[in-house]
A and B are shown apart, each in its own frame.
Chain A
């Protein structure tokens, strides 16, 4: 540590703190304030403080959408994460196999989804899934006749699967890269030793590869869980939260962020309740902050990695 005058410290810190106060802190505090009012579009001139009423409605009211939305978001996170790990692991193992010819070629191809702007690819996927005219169903019709059609974006379960597929397409390269890095740091003599000992590929994978790769995977997995949890762009551009299950329930892919956005800026919101949505935001923030602390408690370097990953979400 350097010993300097108090004034110097303040001078160094001030620009950042001022900026953060305005664009980081103020919006959060204002949202916090909003969450204790009944501010809505129609009463913006005479809204008032209502204490924790919004939170009560959100968390304890029977017809609140909060828990269903949270549940389907968490399900999405878990399913995506499992797929990321499996596809990422298989791809990394394949790319780490020295007996495969043309590795650089495969590498570039398989990492390509990472490089494309995800917003654009989401719009493309949306068309691929189109029921009547989308190429996926058209290809299916070549094999199974004119009546064939998978209602990708129409059936709640299939739409969920569709956005999982897209997210896997977008994210497996990140896991491939992370796992491949860890694989390549495994010393060659280990493999040699295992081979001499007569360990089968599964045993080698189970007892050597997996334990060595896990430490690299944990931060990547936590990070991906957080990013997937707050995913908006990709899913919104494909389904906008739909398909509708019932007029009373959130859409099948209406995950937390999409739910919030749809309630404020959605196509035909009758009367946005900004106060209520603010309570929703603050509750989510508390959850995310807890997750982040949990992650940092596990000794991972989330902030650094996040830039790396988020560069493409």
Chain B
């Protein structure tokens, strides 16, 4: 029998996130190069990792064709210079790709099958617009299994406003404004930069270097947000300002069994407590994190009150607010998305899950009074994913849960 193990998050890094499209900084950069650069950066930061001991490379992308195709985990491992003996595979759960890469490899570590694994994700939405080239089964429409609205994420966000009239456009805008402000403050304080891997970029003016996210708009004002178009509905509530953008970027994390981390002298930035995924109606996919979080809390034997830090993916402001309302958390609760979120930095679909973990890990170190943190996100076609982590820097008195 394989020996069951505790799973730790050793480290995570990401490329700066770019704006998708011809004017974006990564327009001439391949998607696989982005994930490879993130992986190389991760391994350079953790020189103690014996590369031949990495048991898996799981890399997610939503649209797995072209430069995001060809078994990304394996090709990225080869391109990153890992030994040929290191295996790899590709993962796809739309926005929760990298999160699923983490939970899936974590499961294998917990089972005792792996000692070390790289989990990450990449999405080059400039080259691979969401759903591009997909061929949905006509039965979805013919049998009314899923409404046409479900395939358009903006429409699903409008649906949340419909369902919860208390979630007004004004609240969504205010949350979005806060996201931009918090991200600007975090950048100014140098919180985000340490985990960014610089990427050489190329445009008509030659080579450049991406060292910061391209998406944030620190100049955002409430007045400006109020005046934006509502592209999904006339007189709707969802705007480009209170949604995440279309982005390019990649993330990579290193997971290990607690024993392997100890053996190789690796850092333990977080300890995995539990995770869960759950489905909801595809037409209102943004509320997915609510049931997945409830499930993850239940598995962990915790309540929402135990969670001291939240890293919630801001696919749409309203979708985060729906979770906060559900759990009775204030819109401006300081525990939530301390450094802003996807509305500011961007959401390159399958890469975002690990970004949440990178930031939670950094916040854990700053907040030894916090014991547990939550990373959660909604997923297209009606899912949610939640991962609960324990802070190894926790110094508080209550030791309700034993390590092992």
> Do A and B belong to a common assembly?
no
Tell me the B residues contacting A by CB distance below 8 Å. none
